[in-house]
Structure formats: structure tokens, C-alpha cells
Amino acid sequence: MTYILGIETSCDETAAAVIKANKSEVSVLSHVVNSQIKIHEQFGGVVPEVAARQHLVNILPIVNQAIKQAKLTLNKISAIAATQGPGLAGSLMVGFETAKTLAWLNNKPLYEINHLTGHLWSWLLPEVGKTSTLNIPWPFIALIVSGGHTELVLVKDFVNHEIIGKTLDDAAGEAFDKAAKIMNLGYPGGPILSKRAALGKEQAWDFPRPMLQQQDFNFSFSGLKTSLLYKINKLGKLSDQQINDLCASWQAAVIEVLVEKTVRAAKFYQAKAVAVVGGVSANQNLRQAMTEKCVNNNWLLLLPHMTYAGDNAAMIALAGFMSHHLGRQSSNKNFLTSAIKPSLNI
Amino acid sequence: MNRISYSIHDTRRIAREILRQLGRRHIILLSGELGTGKTITVQAIAEELGVTEDVNSPTYVLMKIYPLQNADFDRLVHVDLYRIEYNQDTDELGLTDYLNDEKSLVVVEWPERILGNWPSDALLVQFYYGDKENIRTIDF
């Protein structure tokens, strides 16, 4: 049995988790996340200095809590997995250096994990205290959608992951936040926009479906933002119902593009399943639209529990287990000089 | 200089012009509302300088760095301060090293979040919406 401590500080969340895994099943023993969203809200935005300092204040108590909740001690841990990138440099550094130090002092291997690879496995994670079987339908297409990412990844096995499409400008979650900003909906914009959308009519307004004519698997959401802006400038003062309708129609456009491109990719690569992961995978309309497509095409739909949709450390620990144990990748023996990689790609 | 852009294609052409106007400077500040063409401008600059990877919005990571093989610059530093709180010092952003390094071409979106702290020789480019859809005024 392998016990892996995961550490994640790539953006707004300080997170630590312990998983227990063997080649057929995985359990989450602990999963601790401290989000800085409330702090950013108070400042009206991110302050990198403050963010890094908050991670510093939180990291050791959170790691300690994760180990305690798992009812383990550090010497029982088999390896430490930490996010190396991509992310905010000052924030990444806190978690990664902490992991290096812990690995060094306790003589454990360090697994240097790509944050995006973490998301790829998040749908496999059971709730804390529960176990799930590692039953993976190869190959599968993963749509990673969050504030910072919109990527389509072909997952062939434990280590071979290929980005087959991505956003050419704004990430989907970022587009949600900016659209919310344009309509002055408040912070955090994305979830508020989705709530308003639930009260509006999708057919009320006509928004473009960017990139659907292109046969590739790339996305572009910048034009949708502009098109919303034009509509609002024309409308002048908006009633609540108009805002709801705009939210519904705009969200429908984003979701249609996300779903359509994912479906095309899954067909093209003859995928067995489709995974939708990352913060935006919590969006109910996206889940629903993707469910219909998967049922029609006989694909499994792989969705993370809500608690693992956003950034967390359990997925980082699991990614470590996947690549280094099941995928037999060797870990970096010279990790003492290893550094964060803020612009890391898959 | 005041340029009118009627399309994304125009904006990209104007971006190349901005690059030629740079002279010995190495910091470009792109100021303008959402959707006025800032990111497209950075993409065109990157392409012109030989960056082959896709340049997309660094809003969530604040900055992305692209190595350059260029006589003037070693790297393109694409900064986006959209998520940043107003009135911080550039020192706190981890930008100082690049702002002091003439071999780094630093292109900053939403510089007004920390206006007043930028080096005085930075090239300020302002983007405005025109009277009609798709029209932008780009001033530098």
C-alpha cells in the first residue's frame, strides 16, 4: 500500500491531502483546502505578495492537518507530491519548497507534478474516507476548464497525455468572470453569472459560437466578451430580467462551444470516455449538456465530485501515484536543486 | 500617433507598428477596456518576434514568459494585471527584475492598476472603442 502526501499552492488555494492507493484502488484519507478567495474579495483583486504570504502562513498548519486527519505520521508516508507548475510564481514556490524540505528531511521521494495532470485524474477521487476502484477507460478525452485553463487533453495511458486543443485567448472561467464584470454582477463573477443564467431565457439573445466553423479543437472566448459588451452598450440601463436573459444566452454559447469541441475530439480520437474537470466543471448546465452527449454517443462521462472540481491536493497526490507508480516514471533524485515551473505545459 | 483599426487584422498590423516605434525602449503598457484588442496586440508582437507557441491570456497567472532568439531581446514577458488590486507597487509583483533588464521586452496589460510606478520611458499605448462595432482607436 502506498501513502502519498500531496501539496498544492499554484493559485488561490493552499491545499494538502493524503491518499492511500494500490494498483486497483484509491482512498482519500484527508483533503484540506484553504481558499484565499475571501481575502482577494476584500482587496478587490489578487495581491501576489499577499497571496504568497497567505500560503506561507497556511502551508505548514494545513500539511499538519492533512497528516493528522489521515491518522498517519510523516515517516509512514511513501512519497510527497507537489505542484511544480503552471501557476503564480510566488504561490507555487511556497508549496513546492515546503515539499522539497519535507522530502529531504524525511528521506522521501519527491514527485514533481504538473497541476494540469492533477486535474486529469480528479474524477477518480472518492470522497474522504471512501475508496474507489482505478477503472480507467483508455483512451479518454479530458476537458480541463477553469479560471486559468481551457484545454482538451487526449489521455492515452498513465504518462502519455497530449494537448489536442486549447484556448487561443481567454480561458472559459476567465471569460465568465469578465462577462460578469461587464454586467457588474459582483465577485466571484463566474458562479454569480451562472445563478442569474438559471433565471433567464437562453433564446433571448443571439451570441456567436466562436471557432465552431474551424475543424480543430481550439477555443476562443475573447470575441464573446466583446459581443456581450456591444449588446450592453446598445441596451443602456438593464433590468434584472434582461441581465438574467443575457447571462443565460451568453452562458449557453460558451457551453455549446465547450461541449461541441469536446464531442468532436472524442469522436476523432475514438475515445471511450469524456472527463470534464477543473473549477468550471462544477457548472450544472455544462454537466447536463455533456451528459446528454455522452449518453447519445455511448461514452462514459467522468466528473469529479464537487469538492475536487476546484484546485486541491488529493488530485496532485493521485497524479503522483499514476505517473510514478502505475506509469513507472522515475522521480527526480536531485530534487534539492529543482525549481518551480510557472509556465509548465503538459 | 493615432491609428484607427477596423478589424483584428488591422490591430495586428498596428501592433507591428508599435514594435517599430519602440526604439531603445523595452517596456510597452497597453491600456484599454475589456475587448479593445490588448491581448491580440501582444499575440501579434509575439508572432513578429518569432514566438511559435500560442500566446493566450495570462490573467490568472499574472505573467507568462516566452524565450526569444532576437538581437534586441532574450525574452518576452507578457504581464496582465487585470486581477490585481489597485495601487500596488511594481516591486511587489516580482516584475522589478524584468523592468530593469533591457533584454526583457515587457508588455503589460492593465498597467493603470499600478499607474505612477512605471518607468518613465515606458511606451504607453491606449485602446479605445470606436463609434461602430469592431472599430478601435489605438493611440501611442
Say whether B1 sits in a helix, a strand or coil: coil
Rounded distance between C-alpha atoms, residue A302 and residue B13, angstroms = 44
The total of other beta-carbon atoms located within 10 Å of residue A73's CB is 10
| List of domains in chain B | 2-139 (3.40.50.300)
Give pLDDT, residue A148.
87
Give pLDDT, residue A12.
86
Q: Do A182 and B34 touch (CB under 8 A)?
A: yes
Give pLDDT, residue B123.
96
Chain B residues near residue A43 by CB distance under 8 angstroms: 85
Give pLDDT, residue B88.
64
Q: Do B56 and A342 touch (CB under 8 A)?
A: no
Confidence of residue B92 (pLDDT cuts 50, 70, 90): low
- Would you say A113 and A120 are in contact if contact means Cβ atoms under 8 Å apart? no
Query: What sign for the dihedral angle of Cα A271, A295, A212, A152?
Result: negative
| List of domains in chain A | 2-127+308-337 (3.30.420.40), 140-304 (3.30.420.40)
> Is the pLDDT confidence value at B111 over 60?
yes
Per residue of chain A (346 residues), give pLDDT as tens: 999 999 999 988 999 999 999 999 999 999 999 988 777 666 656 667 778 889 999 999 999 999 999 999 999 999 999 999 999 889 999 999 999 999 999 999 999 999 999 999 999 999 999 999 999 999 999 999 998 899 999 999 999 999 999 999 999 999 998 999 899 998 778 899 999 999 999 999 999 999 999 999 999 999 999 999 999 988 989 999 999 999 999 999 999 999 999 999 999 999 999 999 999 999 999 999 999 999 999 999 999 999 999 999 999 999 999 999 999 999 999 999 999 998 888 8
DSSP A36-104: -HHHHHHHTSB-HHHHHHHHHHHHHHHHHHHHHHTT--GGG--EEEEEEESS-HHHHHHHHHHHHHHHH
- Considering only CA atoms, which of B101, B139, B138 is closest in space to residue B119? B101
Q: Do A343 and B64 touch (CB under 8 A)?
A: yes
Chain B residues near residue A171 by CB distance under 8 angstroms: 56-57, 59-60
Nearest Cα residue in chain B from A180 = B34
CA dist A20 to A27, A82, A130, A270, Å?
Answer: 5, 16, 10, 32
User: CB of B60 within 8 Å of any CB in chain A?
Assistant: yes
User: CB of A174 within 8 Å of any CB in chain B?
Assistant: yes
Mean pLDDT computed over B8-12: 94
> Is the pLDDT confidence value at B86 over 70?
no
Chain B residues near residue A86 by CB distance under 8 angstroms: 61
* Chain A: closest CA distance from residue B102 (Å): 22
Return the biggest CA–CA distance within chain B: 41
User: CB of B31 within 8 Å of any CB in chain A?
Assistant: no
Chain B residues near residue A230 by CB distance under 8 angstroms: 133
Say whether B5 sits in a helix, a strand or coil: strand
User: CB of A168 within 8 Å of any CB in chain B?
Assistant: yes
Q: Compute the residue count for chain B.
A: 140
User: Among the listed ranges A69-78, A87-96, B1-10, B93-102, which one has the minimum average pLDDT value?
Assistant: B93-102
CA dist B130 to A136, A182, A236, B100, Å?
Answer: 52, 18, 17, 35
Q: Do A45 and B86 touch (CB under 8 A)?
A: yes
Give pLDDT, residue A48.
73
